Amino acid sequence: MMLLSTRGLSKHFDGLQAVQDVDFDLPIGQVRALIGPNGAGKTTLVGMICGRIEPSEGRVFFDEVDITALPAHKRIMLGMAYTFQITSVFSRLPAAENVALAARRRLHGDKVDTAVKEALDQVGLLERMDQEAGDLSYGHQRLLEIAMGLVQKPRLLILDEPTQGLADSEITDFKNLIRELAGDTTILLIEHNMNVVMETADQVTVLNFGEVLAEGTPDEIHANAAVQAAYLGTG
C-alpha cells in the first residue's frame, strides 16, 4: 500500500520549469532516497509534498487521500514530519525544549518528558539536553532537528540533507538510526552522500532537470549509465 503518491506534479517559476510531470509512489515502511544534481528540483518536489510550495499542476496523495489543497500544518497533523536543509531550531532554547515543542503537538504532561528523552537518546544528544540549541555545533543542530521530527512519531519522515555538517562518526550513527527506524517509519531521504544512500535506502529515485530520470535499488541506480552520466560523474 502506498503512503505517498504524486501524479503529474509540476512547478514552474516565471517560466522556469523546476519540476515537470512527476509521478512518484512511496510504499509504507520503505526508505526511499531522492538524489540528483544541484538544481534538479529535489527541494521543490519535497516542498510540494509537504505543502510549503503550491504546485502549478498535478496532485499529491497521502494514504490514498488527495491532500493537494491542504496547508503544511494540516499535513503535519496527518503524520508528515519534514526536517529542513537549513536548520530551523530555536537557538535560545535548550535542546530538550526544542524537542518538547514538537512533542506537544501529540502529547501532554509527563509523556512529553519521556518522549523528549527517548528522541534525544535516539540521535545521541541526551547528554546535551540542557544545552542551548544555538551553542550546539552545526552537526548537532541537524541531529536535534531530526529528534524534533522523530518525537512526533510521524508516519512519513522527510529528511533534507540530514548528514550535511556531520562528522564521520555521526554519519555512522545516523545510518544506524535509519536502519533502526526502517519498517516502522516511512522515510524519504534527500541526500548527496552516496555512501549513506547506498547503505540505507531500499529504493532510489533520481531527478534531473525536474524530471524522474531513473528509479531502482541502490545497486541498479549505481549501475545505470544515464545516472552515471547525469549525476555520478562517470560514463
Using one digit for the tens of pLDDT, what is the confidence trace for 190-216? 998 999 999 999 999 999 999 999 999
Q: Which of 158, 165, 124, 118 is nearest to 144 (CA)?
A: 124
At residue 146 the predicted structure's pLDDT band, cuts being 50, 70 and 90, is: very high
User: What is the structure's pLDDT at 230?
Assistant: 80
Residue with cell 538524489: 35
Long-range Cβ contact pairs of 104-107 (< 8 A, separation 24 or more):
105/76, 105/77, 105/152, 106/152, 106/153
CB 123 within 8 Å of CB 98:
no
* Cβ partners under 8 Å of residue 84, min gap 6: 145, 160
153-186 pLDDT, tens digit per residue, is 999 999 998 998 889 998 999 999 999 998 889 9
| pLDDT at 235 exceeding the cut of 60 | no
User: What is the structure's pLDDT at 183?
Assistant: 84
Q: Across 19-33, 139-153, 156-170, which has the greatest mean pLDDT?
A: 19-33
Cα separation, 219 vs 214, in Å, equals: 12
Cα separation, 181 vs 216, in Å, equals: 21
Cα separation, 81 vs 151, in Å, equals: 10
CA angle 217, 123, 38 (to 5 degrees): 45
CB 87 within 8 Å of CB 95:
no
Edge to edge, the sheet with strand 65-66 lists 16-27, 2-13, 57-62, 65-66
59-117 pLDDT, tens digit per residue, is 999 999 999 999 999 999 899 998 865 567 899 999 999 999 999 988 998 999 999 99
For residue 208, give the H/E element and its range: strand 203-208
Find the largest Cα–Cα distance for the chain. 57
User: What is the structure's pLDDT at 233?
Assistant: 58
At residue 229 the predicted structure's pLDDT band, cuts being 50, 70 and 90, is: confident
Q: What 3-state DSSP class applies to 187?
A: strand
| pLDDT at 58 exceeding the cut of 50 | yes
Mean pLDDT of the chain: 92
Task: Set out the domains of the chain in order of their start, with CATH numbers.
Answer: 2-79+154-232 (3.40.50.300), 90-150 (no CATH)
* Cβ partners under 8 Å of residue 99, min gap 6: 115, 116, 119, 120, 144, 147, 148, 151
